[in-house]
Amino acid sequence: MASNTLTFGIYQSPFGMVLIAVTPKGISRLVFVEKGKEKAAVAELTKLNPQVMLKRSDAAVAQFGKQAFASTKSKTPLEMSGTPFQLKVWKALRAIPRGKVATYGDIAKKIGAPRAARAVGSACGKNRIAMLIPCHRVVGSTGTVGHYHWGSARKKKLLEWESAK
């Protein structure tokens, strides 16, 4: 993969289709895509990366998909881009073990911003590397599943699947 090329593809995960985009540094995007919305997901990827040549290869990204949904912790390198606050939040999320959850407040305390639970929620909502930046492992202070960019039902299924592993 050349540095000005973004390889992407569609992978069928246990929880639905995902679009995965990979740079030479690692996964830069892993988002759930509803059936029939693949073209819209590719159009969004194109819009977000106007200076980059996109190369579709479902086969090339399949290995990354398999790793992301493996039962053991993925060692897949990521290319995360966000604000310094978002990057702190996402790093803290990656430390939550599979099968476990933390509250937005827990994450806020962990990153040294104990009053920033809502901002943590906002950073979770901006995450575009599902599973590998596990925002689905963050729950409300009462233990409720709460919101998830790709749907609360999917979040519940992800948590149940991880707990069973």
- Tens digit of each residue's pLDDT (9 = 90 or more) over 23-73: 988 999 999 999 999 999 999 999 998 999 999 999 999 999 998 888 666
The pair phi, psi for residue 115, each rounded to 5°, is -100, 10
Domains annotated for the chain, with CATH where assigned, are: 5-68 (3.30.160), 84-164 (1.10.10.10)
The tally of CA atoms less than 13 A away on the side-chain side of residue 98 is 16
CA distance 117 to 121: 6
| Residues involved in catalysis | 135
The Cα–Cα gap between 135 and 138 comes to 6
Confidence grade of residue 1 (pLDDT, cut at 50, 70, 90)? very low
